[in-house]
Amino acid sequence: MKNMFRNFLTALLAFVIMQGMAQEKLTLEKIFNEGMLITNGIGPVKWLPDGESYLTTEQRQESSFLDLVKINAKTGNKEVLVSAEMLIPGDTKKPLRLQRYSWSHDNTKLLIFTNTRRVWRYNTRGDYWVLDVASKKLSKLGEGLPESSLMFAKFSPDDSRVAYVCQNNLYVETLADSKRTKLTSDGCESIINGTFDWVYEEEFDCRDGFRWSPDGSSIAFWQSDTKGTGVFYMVNNVDSVYSALIPLPYPKVGTTLSAVKTGVVKLADGKIDWFPLPGNPRENYIPRMDFIPGTNSLMIQQFNRLQNINTVWKADSYSMKIEKLLEEKDEAWVDVYDNTSWLGKQWFTWTSERDGWRRLYKVSADAKVFIPITAAHADFESIEAIDEKGGWVYYIASPASATERYLYRSRLNGEGSPEKLSPADLIGHHSYNIAPGARYAIHIFDNSTTPPVYSLVSLPKHQTIRVFEDNSEVKKAFTESDIPRKQFIKINIGEVTLDGWMLKPPSFNPAKKYPVIFHVYGEPAGSTVQNSWGFGDLWHEYLAHQGYIVMSFDNRGVNLLRGREWRKCIYGRVGILAPEDQANAVREVVNTYPFIDPDRIGVWGWSGGGSMTLNALFRYPDLYKAGISVAPVADQRLYDAVYQERYMGLPTTNPDGFRDGSPINHVKNLKGKLLLIHGTGDDNVHFQNAEWLVDELVKNNKLFQMMAYPMRSHGIYEREGTTLHLYRTMERFWLENLPNEAK
């Protein structure tokens, strides 16, 4: 569900304000068909180990060819390392498209990922080529294997071989003679080697499922056995005269999980050994595993099914013996982090909420000493860089405001106070790509009225060296337009104060009363209230232009930098506490702002926000008059086990929570108007949710509207005309069921 939230936002982020919009009528066609002046970015930047230069791709003038260029950060001097001509295979005329690339450890070979295909959310299947830069020889890996079938190719530590996954089996290929060895042979639909099943990808962000040992003698990998996991079938009724079933192993709440284990294959003889992790593999998860640098031991993180205990094991890849390194516990749940780094052989970094805040710790190799690095009574969001030589860690935090993000640094030894490096006069969101050694960084700044500005800065003084892209034309267009500006507000609902924003119609008159549409999400996956350019989307601006006030609030449980209690107080109460917070916010808004019409309150949301919309309409029927629910979870038992059990526990131990938090159980209270929208090809929140909900609505004689999009996924964007039709449908619903005139 969290990825859906990102995908939904991404579908809207591309659209920004057109110059002269004040003179032009804002239409849905302009927004969703014509593009409306997309902001510019910069090419992908990869810093080189020297910390002084970086790689990027540059398009030639009057050509579609892309060169891979090395640029000196200080001087700006450029050197073409790989020209487009070097990427033209054989007798063809077009160069390979660099969709992703990586260098060999000795920087003599380039591994190219191209001709990619989508696997669930991302393009992780494709073709891999190796370019020997000196000889300009270009070789394709996996000759004879199906096109676009290779995944996660990686050089061996000595750069003589490349390992990859194909059709759920692991391979290693020697570059000198293209000799290919199949390391696993049991890969099939139900046995997955070196990658993951749907739920691991969706909920743990697991895709690349193997690791080279530092000495190159072995490969550690995951294996998933989906036999016994319930198979959900989606039905494709639109691409043939006969329907086609699409099987999807998908563990729903309380059902059988895949059996996941980790092992090591020795390349010398092909022998595979498995680590003897305790417990039933179908009642535990293994979301993280990495070699400890310079050793043949791995750090393996094993979560119990409830995900409230993370046991970290140190596992020897030679003897296959394991020993417990540490254990992280929480009464609610423990989050999975990707920021563990070894500082030499004696210390590593670790993220924990053990004192009530998300803090970074320096931990001894035996896990007996924990030294806090980041500030007390404050959360940090992400590590941007570790300068081990200089003794600093650079990270994103925002202790004073949950709607903003800034760069800080702290001493790795935990001494002294954090230093804020982002300029004080640039209020909003800051993100960074920091070079090794932390002397330079690519800096991106934006806020709700400033499109992204990309620049090169020096650290720690944060001096701008050069500006790559300031999107000045977009900024000018926005400034000169009559597009409403988001007004950030706070609402005290008694127990807590919520962050929110408000958009008013361009012709707003405070003496009149206006209808309000509340945009909701409210699940632990994401926030709708951030002072960033990306969250200012033209759909809500369009609704404001139609005469609606549009508002949004982040309730408790949203993943904000407001402490553990804020985030985890919803445990066991998903669908219960959040709608209550939202309803209290609506009541307080009505009491605070006399220009809001309490008889015209609407609500809409997508995915978790769709569930929130249903709970709002069903549980607070006298407050909300109309709502649009897109791709909602109607019954929490229908969603995947990893996500729902993490926040709710099991139906057998929390039956009241699952019952009360599922909107389907409150259908009988519906009074307002409801529009239900869902894609029949939704692999995330299955169309089954809509069918169960419809059945219950009919049983209770509740009239409603519904729009089903055949074979569209959770994002409802595939196939011609979909996006415009979707938003036109929603617009019509609002105009017909929530009158937009000011009174």
DSSP H or E segment with residue 540: helix 538-545
Q: Report angle CA 455, 459, 465 to the nearest 5 degrees.
A: 35
User: What CATH number corresponds to the domain at position 119?
Assistant: 2.120.10.30
Q: Report angle CA 298, 299, 300 to the nearest 5 degrees.
A: 105
**C-alpha to C-alpha distance for 543 and 504, rounded to whole angstroms:** 9
For 703-720, give one letter per residue: b (16+ CB within 10 A) or e. ebeebebbbbbbbbbeee
For 23-52, give one letter per residue: b (16+ CB within 10 A) or e. eeebebebbbeeebbebeeeeebebbeebb
Question: In this structure, are 193 and 174 located in the same domain?
Answer: no
- Evaluate if residue 18 carries a pLDDT over 50: no
**C-alpha to C-alpha distance for 499 and 404, rounded to whole angstroms:** 11
Q: Is residue 68 part of a domain?
A: no
Residue 16: per-residue pLDDT: 35
Question: In this structure, are 136 and 282 located in the same domain?
Answer: no
CA distance readout (Å), 141 to 70, 84, 96: 26, 19, 14
Question: In this structure, are 174 and 187 located in the same domain?
Answer: no
User: What CATH number corresponds to the domain at position 527?
Assistant: 3.40.50.1820
**C-alpha to C-alpha distance for 13 and 72, rounded to whole angstroms:** 31
Are 353 and 365 spatial neighbours (Cβ–Cβ below 8 Å)?
A: no
Residue 147: per-residue pLDDT: 95
Residue 91: per-residue pLDDT: 80
| Torsion angle in degrees (nearest 10) through CA of 713, 717, 722, 723 | 140
* Residue pointed to by tokens 């009225």: 449
Query: Nearest to residue 99, comparing CAs of 121, 118, 78?
Result: 118
Residue 552: per-residue pLDDT: 98
Cα separation of the two ends of the chain: 39
Question: In this structure, are 419 and 439 located in the same domain?
Answer: yes
Residue 411: per-residue pLDDT: 98
Cis peptide before 594 (omega within 30 of 0): no
| Helical axes 538-545 vs 722-737, angle rounded to 10° | 30
Residue 352: per-residue pLDDT: 98
Residue 342: per-residue pLDDT: 96
Q: Is residue 696 part of a domain?
A: yes
Confidence of residue 1 (pLDDT cuts 50, 70, 90): low
Q: Which ranges of 86-228 would DSSP assign to H, the alpha helix?
A: 198-204
Q: What percent of the chain has pLDDT over 90?
A: 88
**C-alpha to C-alpha distance for 342 and 236, rounded to whole angstroms:** 48
Question: In this structure, are 641 and 698 located in the same domain?
Answer: yes
Listed in sequence order, the residues at least 6 apart from 736 whose beta carbon sits closer than 8 Å to its beta carbon are none
Question: In this structure, are 664 and 574 located in the same domain?
Answer: yes
For the chain, the domain total comes to 4
- Evaluate if residue 11 carries a pLDDT over 80: no
Question: In this structure, are 114 and 137 located in the same domain?
Answer: yes
Q: Is residue 50 part of a domain?
A: no
Q: Is residue 59 part of a domain?
A: no
CB atoms within 10 A of CB 231: 12
Residue 13: per-residue pLDDT: 39
Rounded to the nearest angstrom, the gap between the alpha carbon of residue 701 and the centroid of all alpha carbons in its chain is: 39
Query: Nearest to residue 439, comparing CAs of 404, 389, 479?
Result: 389
DSSP 389-455: TTTEEEEEE-TT-TT-BEEEEEETTS-S--EE-S-TT--SEEEEEEPTTSSEEEEEEEETTEEEEEE
Question: In this structure, are 367 and 428 located in the same domain?
Answer: yes
Residue 568: per-residue pLDDT: 98
Q: Is residue 31 part of a domain?
A: no
Query: Nearest to residue 284, comparing CAs of 652, 641, 655, 524?
Result: 641
**C-alpha to C-alpha distance for 465 and 453, rounded to whole angstroms:** 13
Q: Is residue 11 part of a domain?
A: no
Listed in sequence order, the residues at least 6 apart from 288 whose beta carbon sits closer than 8 Å to its beta carbon are 299, 300, 301, 336, 338, 340
10 Å CB burial of residue 179 (0-12, 13-18, 19+) is exposed
Instruction: State which amino acid sits at residue 537.
Output: D
Query: Nearest to residue 548, comparing CAs of 482, 606, 603, 589?
Result: 603
DSSP 188-212: SSSEEESS--HHHHHHH-----EEE
- Mean residue pLDDT of the chain comes to 94
Question: In this structure, are 724 and 595 located in the same domain?
Answer: yes
Rounded to the nearest angstrom, the gap between the alpha carbon of residue 57 and the centroid of all alpha carbons in its chain is: 25
How is residue 439 written in tokens? 């002397």
Q: What is the pTM of this model?
A: 0.93
* Tens of pLDDT, residues 36-54: 657 899 988 999 999 999 9
How is residue 178 written in tokens? 């293209």
- Evaluate if residue 8 carries a pLDDT over 70: no
Are 277 and 262 spatial neighbours (Cβ–Cβ below 8 Å)?
A: yes
Rounded to the nearest angstrom, the gap between the alpha carbon of residue 42 and the centroid of all alpha carbons in its chain is: 21
How is residue 330 written in tokens? 């929480």
**C-alpha to C-alpha distance for 393 and 300, rounded to whole angstroms:** 24
> Among 122, 157, 182, where does a domain finish?
182
Long-range contacts from 238-247, C-beta under 8 angstroms, 24+ separation: 238/710, 238/711, 239/711, 246/681
Q: Is residue 74 part of a domain?
A: no
Question: In this structure, are 366 and 322 located in the same domain?
Answer: no
SS3 (DSSP) at 551: strand
> Among 336, 361, 380, where does a domain finish?
336
**C-alpha to C-alpha distance for 85 and 102, rounded to whole angstroms:** 18
* Tens of pLDDT, residues 595-626: 999 999 999 999 999 999 999 999 999 999 99
Question: In this structure, are 672 and 620 located in the same domain?
Answer: yes
* Tens of pLDDT, residues 88-129: 998 888 999 989 999 999 989 999 999 999 888 889 999 999
Confidence of residue 536 (pLDDT cuts 50, 70, 90): low
Q: Is residue 63 part of a domain?
A: no
**C-alpha to C-alpha distance for 228 and 427, rounded to whole angstroms:** 52
User: What CATH number corresponds to the domain at position 234?
Assistant: 2.140.10.30
> Among 182, 202, 232, where does a domain finish?
182
Question: In this structure, are 344 and 442 located in the same domain?
Answer: yes
**C-alpha to C-alpha distance for 165 and 152, rounded to whole angstroms:** 7
Quote the domain boundaries for residue 311: 183-336
**C-alpha to C-alpha distance for 162 and 135, rounded to whole angstroms:** 19
* Tens of pLDDT, residues 330-369: 999 999 999 999 999 999 999 999 999 999 999 999 999 9
Q: What percent of the chain has pLDDT over 70?
A: 96
* Tens of pLDDT, residues 199-241: 999 999 999 999 999 999 999 999 999 999 999 999 999 999 9
DSSP H or E segment with residue 361: strand 359-364
